Amino acid sequence: MRFTSHKQLGSLKALCMAGVLALGAQPTMAEPTIMEGFPPTAESQVTLKNYRDYPYNRWSFHNLGAIANTLMIPRAGAIQSLTEANNPTLGQLQVTDGYGKQRSVDQILDSEDTDAFVVLQGDKLLMERYFNGMSRYDQHIWFSATKSLTTTALGILVEQGKIDLNASPVNYIPELKGSGFERVTIQEVLDHSTAIDFKENYTDLTSDFFQHYAPAMKMAFLPGAQDVQPGDTEIYGIYDFLARFIKPDTTLEPNQAFDYNSANADLAGWLISRVSGMPYHQFIQQHIWSKLGTEHDAYIAADRALMAIATGGMNTTARDAARFGRMILNRGQVNGEQVIPANWVDTSLAITDHDKAKMKANTKYKDNSWIAYKNMWWIIDENQGEYAAVGIHGQVIYINRAANVVIAYFSSQPTASAARNPQFQSKLFAAQAIARHLQSASSASTK
């Protein structure tokens, strides 16, 4: 399928000049001061075209509401306070980083494009640092860490008996009949094992990702795409893309392979809305965000049809991201209230040998820490309860049950992918070192 208004999108030459969703533009010259002046100079101006390019992303990632369509997710209720107990020794811990060098946690955070770093053990705030003009009051884009929020929300409907994980999504969304999602189960959607004939390609500007998914998402720049009207194209919003473009990969069977694909999470978001009868962002607000005791409102990016982007649009403060992580750490409970069914939280760690084999077979991730991908969570050690929500450019909510630790951190790394990315690995190794240290200290104090 093609845009019927394809001429509006400009020539291929114009597309190649755009380069919006490339894997982050590496700095090759002196970095400009971003958003300098009133109004900003042309060289320092952040736009939809450059907002993911380095160093513009150092401003845009904690100001996404100025760039994208957004929908508000208001906080509610009493704030769940955190006990500030700064522990400076955490920053001094020595870590073998992603480059194989010995550095302190502080040195890693200072040098690897960190925007925010928050460490909780229980309700104690042990470490909190901000960079690049970000503060504790600023919301930052989660990107694909949003996927873990989406499956957390979907679990509410599963536990209510409203969604059958062994059913096809077509049972709930008839528009998917004939698509690549018809032959799969919802569990396979959650595990990114759908065997669909669509690949995320961030570098080929003639790819299906650029031509259809990215402009429908409205989180990428294509000449003319922002002006397209619903009647001008078959694929206006994300849901159109899922129903009309995704086809099965006939060389694979569902559940045969792990193939990370953002379309799966957008389908999970569509299921939430269709089954609940509520827009995704309102469901999140009513069932999760209003119950976490957050300090601030959240907001989520919306697609061209003004539907929330369930695959990667969430924006919150770092402290509030950590509060979400703490709820997951506590098996869905906040201040005595069971917000998410404990059984559903636990299922993300109930991985099988087949789950591990699928991850091992995907060579893209062979040098990373993950042993499985379950319910859109990245699993490190199921026995320790060590896992994470992860988004491109270095967004992470790290959870370690054994250490009773949550670490939420945001970044503006030049390179999007976490795979074989020493910047990403360095910060993950730092988080793990902190958790190990705190677990050891807690064990020693009880002896």
Residue 25 lies in a domain: yes
What pLDDT sits at residue 300?
A: 98
Residue 185 lies in a domain: no
Residue 228 lies in a domain: no
Do the beta carbons of residue 67 and residue 48 sit within 8 Å? yes
Do the beta carbons of residue 299 and residue 308 sit within 8 Å? no
Cβ-based neighbour number of residue 176 at 10 Å: 23
Distance CA 301, CA 313 (A): 5
Phi, psi dihedrals of residue 436, rounded to the nearest 5°: -60, -45
Distance CA 14, CA 413 (A): 26
Give 42's DSSP letter: G
Q: What total of structural domains would you count in the chain? A: 1
- Secondary structure of residue 356 in the 3-state scheme: helix
Domain extent, residue 64, equals 21-69
Residue 226 lies in a domain: no
What pLDDT sits at residue 20?
A: 35
Residue 165 lies in a domain: no
Phi, psi dihedrals of residue 57, rounded to the nearest 5°: -65, -20
Q: What is the CA radius of gyration of the chain?
A: 21
Phi, psi dihedrals of residue 80, rounded to the nearest 5°: -80, 105
Task: Answer positive or negative: Cα dihedral of 341, 346, 351, 352.
Answer: negative
Give residues with Cβ within 8 angstroms of 195, minimum separation 6: 180, 184, 248, 249, 252, 253, 254, 255, 256, 257, 259
Phi, psi dihedrals of residue 158, rounded to the nearest 5°: -65, -50
What pLDDT sits at residue 355?
A: 98
What pLDDT sits at residue 209?
A: 84
What pLDDT sits at residue 30?
A: 64
Residue 119 lies in a domain: no
Residue 438 lies in a domain: no
Listing DSSP states for 231-248 in one string gives GG-S--SHHHHHHHT--B
Residue 48 lies in a domain: yes
pLDDT per residue rounded down to tens, the chain (447 residues): 333 343 333 333 333 333 333 333 444 456 779 999 999 999 999 999 999 999 999 999 999 999 999 999 999 999 999 999 999 999 999 999 999 999 999 999 999 999 999 999 999 999 999 999 999 999 999 999 999 999 999 999 999 999 999 999 999 999 999 999 999 999 999 999 999 999 887 667 788 888 889 889 998 888 888 889 998 999 999 999 999 999 999 999 999 999 999 999 999 999 999 999 999 999 999 999 999 999 999 999 999 999 999 999 999 999 999 999 999 999 999 999 999 999 999 999 999 999 999 999 999 998 889 999 999 999 999 999 999 999 999 999 999 999 999 999 999 999 998 888 999 999 999 999 999 999 999 887 776
